[in-house]
Structure formats: C-alpha cells, structure tokens
Amino acid sequence: MKQAKHLACLLPFVLCLAALELSPPANAAETPGVLTGGVYYIRNYGSSKYLNVHAGVDADGVNVYQYQGYPVAQQQFHVAYEPASDSYLIFAMSSYTGTNRVLDIVRIGGSIISGCNVDLYSRVDFSAQRWKIVALGGSKFKVVPSANTGIALTSFGTQNGTNTGTSPTSAGNVFLDNCSGSGTANQQWEFIPVPSSNPYASMGWTFMYANPSLHSSISSGYKRYDRVDHNGIDVVRRSGGIFGVSLLSVSSGTVKKAAYNSSSGNHVVIDTSVFDPNGPQGNTMWVRYLHMDQIAANLYENGTVTAGQIIGTTGYTGNDSPPGIDGTHLHFDVNNGQYMYGPPAISTINPQRFWPGVLVRHTSPIN
C-alpha cells in the first residue's frame, strides 16, 4: 500500500524532469519506486515470505533464503545504486556496521547462470554482486544479475528456507532461475520501506553540503574492503569536481580544532556535544572535515558553531591526491569522542548512517 502511494507521488516529478532536462538526469537509470539509499524488506510475491540472511550471521557464504517476516536486521537490506556500472548493490543490514557484506551469487564453474545459489559475501567479486532491479508494474520488481539478465532472483516454494538448503529445489531457498518477461510469482519481489530505527538518522543532522542532490557521491567509503583503516568517507560531487563548495556544520557544537597540518590539510574538528547512542563509553560525537580549501574566518578553537553554519570550503590541502574529480574531496568522519589525529583509539561511526537517504552514490566500487 505504502509502495503504491509512493509511486504515485513520484510520477509527476519524473514527468517534470523529462520535460525540463535536455540530457537525462543523473539518476535516469535508477529504478523508480526503489529509492537508492533506502532500507527495505524484500518480500516475495509468490510466497509472501521475506528475503532473509541466515540468523543474521555476518560471514562469507552464509545462505540467504526466504523466511516468514520479522522486523529484524537480517531481513532488511540497504539498496545502493552504483552509476558507473548502472547497477545496484544490496547490503544486508545485519552486516552494515563494518563489514558491509552484500547479496552475492555463488558461481557455478565460474559462471553466473540458472541454478546459482545466492548468499552473503564480502565485496570481492563485483560482477557477481551487481544487480538490476526491474519494475514490473504495481509494487512488483524482479531482481536480476547485471552479468546475466536472463535469470532472476527466485524463491522455491512457500516454506521457510535453511542455511544448508542451498540447491534450487531446497525448500524456501533463494537462487537464480531462468526468467522471461515478468517471470513467475516466485520471481517477483516487493520492496517495503523499513521505518527508520537508526538512532543516527533520527538525529536530524544537517548534511554537510547545501545541495545534497548534487554533492553526495562517495569516492572512498567507510572501511571499504581494500582500505579497512579508512574511518570516514570521501565525499565528491555526483558528476564533475567539487572544489570551493561551502561546507556546513552538521550539528551545533564546539570547535576543537581549526588549523592546517601536512596530513589533514586545512581541517576543522567539532565536538557536537551529542552522545553517541551506541557508544560504549558514552562519549560525545566529534566530527572532522579534512583537506579543506578555506576555513571560515569566524571559526576559532573553543568557539561555538550552529548547525548549518558555513565552516569553510572543499579543497585538496594536506595529504591528498592532485585536484580532479576525486582528488578534490571532503574527508568526513565521526567518532565517539576526542579523536583528532592518527589511528583512532576509540570507535568511529559510518557517516552514512546519519543520512541514509543521501550518501549513497559511489564513483568507485562500494565498500
């Protein structure tokens, strides 16, 4: 019901874009009705059961099958569109705090073909982890591998699956099967938005750019698979460069640092004075902006800032790549207290959790 209403609301917007834009909008290839960055329950139309990561286990090779619905993270998936490959990554929310495992195809003899099982895996096999989400009308979608669009995500029967039932005829298993047109009912899925229970998202922090629809790609993600010590996100423009764009304070707080050094470049560190809801030490959250071009003249250490206040502009100072589409970027991170430089001694938080509907596009493979 919710989904249908949402589609109806979106339609005038899409028509409007089509009329105004001479070239297709940047998100032309995204699937209407599935909001990139959204978190969804994915329900099978044939069985009315839900896509489910076995027991919410966060490990490579854990089976994904259908199961009766429960409001739990193992049935919640974060959908992220990757423009470079015109495909989606489907992240398990039960694996979202650090390892970021995704829906993955178990190849048969190296191939992505009918009969392949679907499991949870780290981001190590991109072509077996990229999906097309195809609208079938109404609230139904099929989910097909980018590498082979003649097969689709399919559940077997109406039973609950198991971790060991990994064949195409295992009760309740989810696998890939030949699919033509809209497929069978067991190849049709509904994406049901998960009401936000993310304590960070509900804080209502200001996005760090005034125009998030333009400035919200990530060129290097939080603890990405090939850069696990990267404790923040590198934010770039969705297309083109981002030099000199005003940076906003995401929260009110106290300026702990507004200075230059050879590593961080011009940087600003703010104590938001807000406690980390998941922080074991109950520390307040500090945010850091690195590699800035300018620092606003009215910022000084131990001074205060308000949410949305301009604190400077984007640049490429310090230990950064040469200027360019990805060279000029904002490194932004959040930690639960008193982290200024070097390897953090305390825990960091994936900044994407603060803006789950915004920070979703990646110009390089997603972590």
Please give the residue ranges that form the binding site for Zn ion (CB under 5 A).
Answer: 234, 331
Q: Residue 331 CB, nearest distance to Zn ion (Å)?
A: 3
Q: Residue 263 CB, nearest distance to Zn ion (Å)?
A: 11
- Closer residue to Zn ion (CB): 107 or 230: 230
Helix (H) or strand (E) holding 269: strand 265-275
Residues 6 or more apart whose CB falls under 8 angstroms from that of 187 comprise 46, 142, 152, 153, 154, 177, 179
Q: Residue 226 CB, nearest distance to Zn ion (Å)?
A: 13
Query: Is 151:176 a contact under the CB 8 Å cutoff?
Result: yes
Compute CA 159 distance to the chain's CA centroid, rounded to the nearest angstrom: 30
d(CA 140, CA 137) in angstroms, rounded, equals 6
- Closer residue to Zn ion (CB): 101 or 224: 224
- Closer residue to Zn ion (CB): 101 or 331: 331
Q: Residue 325 CB, nearest distance to Zn ion (Å)?
A: 15
d(CA 148, CA 132) in angstroms, rounded, equals 10
Measuring CA to CA, which residue among 244, 236, 263, 227 is closest to residue 326?
236
- Closer residue to Zn ion (CB): 277 or 344: 344
Q: Residue 97 CB, nearest distance to Zn ion (Å)?
A: 19
Instruction: Output the CA–CA distances (angstroms, integers) from residue 85 to 100, 130, 272, in the order listed.
Output: 19, 8, 37
Among all residues, whose Cβ is closest to Zn ion? 331
Helix (H) or strand (E) holding 20: helix 2-20
Q: Residue 103 CB, nearest distance to Zn ion (Å)?
A: 27
d(CA 141, CA 138) in angstroms, rounded, equals 9
- Closer residue to Zn ion (CB): 223 or 331: 331
Measuring CA to CA, which residue among 281, 284, 275, 6 is closest to residue 138?
6
d(CA 354, CA 287) in angstroms, rounded, equals 12
- Closer residue to Zn ion (CB): 331 or 353: 331
Q: Residue 228 CB, nearest distance to Zn ion (Å)?
A: 13
Helices (H) and strands (E) in the chain, counts: 1, 23
- Closer residue to Zn ion (CB): 191 or 332: 332
